[in-house]
Structure 1
Amino acid sequence: MPKKSISSLELAAIVNELQLLVRGKVSQIYHQDKKELLLQLHAPGKGKVLLKIIPGKYVCLTEQKDTPLRPTGFCMLLRKHINNAIIRSIQQKDSERILIFELEKEEKFSLVIELFSKGNVVLLDKEGIIIGTLEWQRWKDRIVKPKERYVFPEAAFDWKKMSEKQLQDLFSKSDKKSVVVTLATEIGLGGLYAEEICRLLGIDKSISPREIDQGTIKKINKTIKEFLKHIETPQGYIYEEEVTPFPLQSQEEKKKTELYSQALDTLNPFQKVSPYDQKIRTLEKMVEGQEKAIEELQEKITLNGKRGDTIYESYAKLQKLRDIVDEMKKTAGWQEIETALKKEKKIKTVDLKNKRVLIDL
């Protein structure tokens, strides 16, 4: 299914890209659609820049400006308070899908853009009290409406600042069935990047997170740090159903853009896929999976065939070795047999506990 929203990691990439707007000014605000805001900004050294905000979906720079609708009440409220405001900072709330613009005019304001769940846009005063919100919302642990103090959702795991020890503790305590689910949900990378880590490191994504050893945890931590390095200067990579800020091994690239925003701006999050097209995509994925499974089986058949041929060619030697072991068992213990076998050059290891001998053919 085509991409509809961005992950925490992708928002971090966008935040890096939006730093060119800091010290710029809010020139105008439009409500292009019931679910879409457009901020016209003046960026230092760049001039007019348009910022598309689709709550619950994504934020990106754009060159597309549709004919604005009649301003909504919320749009008018934003114009009243933050038109001509200076952008002091743009940051992500920890590793959450929350973007915060710190603005200043005669007073200081915060514009909070929520990209999780249904999404929202909230304007706060300098004390953190809600002046206005795109949509009133009531959650079990917070209320988002004017005159209420804005409360951020309960913080999840902050993967941007985690240590190797924290990662190890999370894996050891995880109750998820597979490592890929732990990476996607508990760490918060999302399914796409969790799958990419497993692919890059050759990890069986279905194994339990508690089975991950220390060496693999070190590699996972290093790979996440490499992802962070990639998104410092993001570019856009467009695939069949994804757009990412750096290239992925698990996807076949179709197009590359200079900015990640340019790739995101090609999306249509409100486009509905017909049942017919969805069925075709499902069947195409099934065929792709079956072709991959066949390819892996062919590789196993070839490998096992070679192993069989090697064993057959060495059958006489192996049988002779087995006869020697059987004969020695009648008069000697396994310790003596081990000593005798280790004198043979082809013997790699002798496992007394399981009565096994590893031979290099």
Structure 2
Amino acid sequence: MVLHRPCEAPPYQPLSLGLSRQISSDCLMKGALALVMIAMRAQSSSFDVARMVRELRGMIGTRARKAYQPHYEQVVLRLNPKGEPSVDLVIVRGKRLYMSRRDRPMPNNPSPFAMILRKHLGNSRLVEVEQIGFDRVVLLTFEHGGGQYKLVIELFRDGNVLLLDDNDVIIQPLTHAKYASRALKRGEPYSPPPETLDPRELDKSGLDNLLDNSDHSLIRTLAARANLGRIYGNAICSAAEIDSDDPADSLEDSQRKALSESMNNLLGELAEGKGAYIWFEEKEGLKSWNSAEDDPQARDSASGV
């Protein structure tokens, strides 16, 4: 695969593509447009979640009005920004969340879970939005005269949405679940998933330690042990001009420095939201794209869209 340079991203605006359609500094595979590729992804990555959280922080101060459950795997929380039309925070269990002002049909009778959300969050103010560690977990904190409540959105495996009280005790989960290290059921203290390595905090010595203690290929090591995933791992290898199939512990010092620099550059761009990367399956696709840069119609054709 061939990695193309970052593309200029549109300036940030509320309800921008970054959140409403989950487009971030992600990669395009087989020349497809980012919008198409990200929309089709089955689940969000930790990087996607970090970008969602960044944009959701623009909604701090809005009030929660109503909650709906139009589908058993979908929860909608209606927010009311001051002086603006209301906006829906749509949560698709285990997959994604996004903001929308689309007029969608809602059930006439709210589900039991939606009723509980209305009871505790109605007219509360969103005061904090955070990502738990580097996991695919979003924590929304709401506040009103009755106290503080938290809404936990887990976007991995089958996913879950949980309402917590101000002591982090589960008031109600969307789905009861039990795992080896934690139980998600009413009345239990909420325990987040076991902490994973955050590649944004991985320095050169930490990277060296990962590579030296790996018996696998470079891409497998970056994807799994460095928690980068295959898309970002491949992007970093390509930018560093290193074969991703090389054994991880075989890299020379100069290659390790290039890899560390490539990783820092990409993670910095992802954090700042400056652009996107495009993947082409072969060099001919890149040549077609470059020759069509001034012609949007030809560029779409080169991308296979």
TM-score range, shorter chain: 0.7 to 0.9
- The answer for the alignment partner of 1:53 in structure 2 is 91
**Structure 2: gaps of 5 or more residues:** 1-36, 286-305
Query: CA 1:63–1:228 in structure 2 vs 1: closer, same or farther (change >3 Å)?
Result: farther
Give the residue type in structure 2 aligned to 1:190: G
1:55, 1:114 within 8 Å by CA — same for their partners in 2? yes
2:153, 2:160 within 8 Å by CA — same for their partners in 1? yes
Give the residue type in structure 2 aligned to 1:61: M
CA distance in 2, matches of 1:44, 1:222: 43
- Verify: 1:132 aligned to 2:172, yes or no: yes
What displacement does 1:159 show? 1.5
- The answer for the alignment partner of 1:189 in structure 2 is 228
- The answer for the alignment partner of 2:197 in structure 1 is 157
CA distance in 1, matches of 2:103, 2:79: 13
Higher relative contact order (CA closer than 8 Å, sequence separation 6+) = 2
2:86, 2:101 within 8 Å by CA — same for their partners in 1? no
CA distance in 1, matches of 2:208, 2:249: 9
- The answer for the alignment partner of 2:207 in structure 1 is 167
What displacement does 1:116 show? 0.8
Query: CA 1:89–1:201 in structure 2 vs 1: closer, same or farther (change >3 Å)?
Result: same
CA distance in 1, matches of 2:245, 2:192: 33
- The answer for the alignment partner of 2:19 in structure 1 is none
Give the residue type in structure 1 aligned to 2:192: F
What are the equivalent positions in structure 2 for 1:1-361 lying under 5 Å apart?
Answer: 2-44=40-82, 46-69=84-107, 70-105=109-144, 106-175=146-215, 177-232=216-271, 234=273, 246-251=275-280
1:131, 1:147 within 8 Å by CA — same for their partners in 2? yes
Q: CA RMSD in A?
A: 2.3
CA distance in 1, matches of 2:91, 2:42: 13
Point out the structure with max Rg over C-alpha: 1
Give secondary structure in 2 for the equivalent of 1:78: helix
CA distance in 1, matches of 2:256, 2:142: 40
Query: CA 1:218–1:123 in structure 2 vs 1: closer, same or farther (change >3 Å)?
Result: farther
What displacement does 1:232 show? 4.3
Identity, % of aligned positions: 27
- The answer for the alignment partner of 1:314 in structure 2 is none
Give the residue type in structure 1 aligned to 2:76: L
2:121, 2:142 within 8 Å by CA — same for their partners in 1? yes
The range that moved more, 206-215 or 70-79, is 206-215
CA distance in 1, matches of 2:198, 2:76: 29
- The answer for the alignment partner of 1:275 in structure 2 is none
What displacement does 1:133 show? 0.3
Of Structure 1 and Structure 2, the greater helix share is in 1
What displacement does 1:113 show? 0.4
Query: CA 1:199–1:148 in structure 2 vs 1: closer, same or farther (change >3 Å)?
Result: same
CA distance in 2, matches of 1:124, 1:139: 19
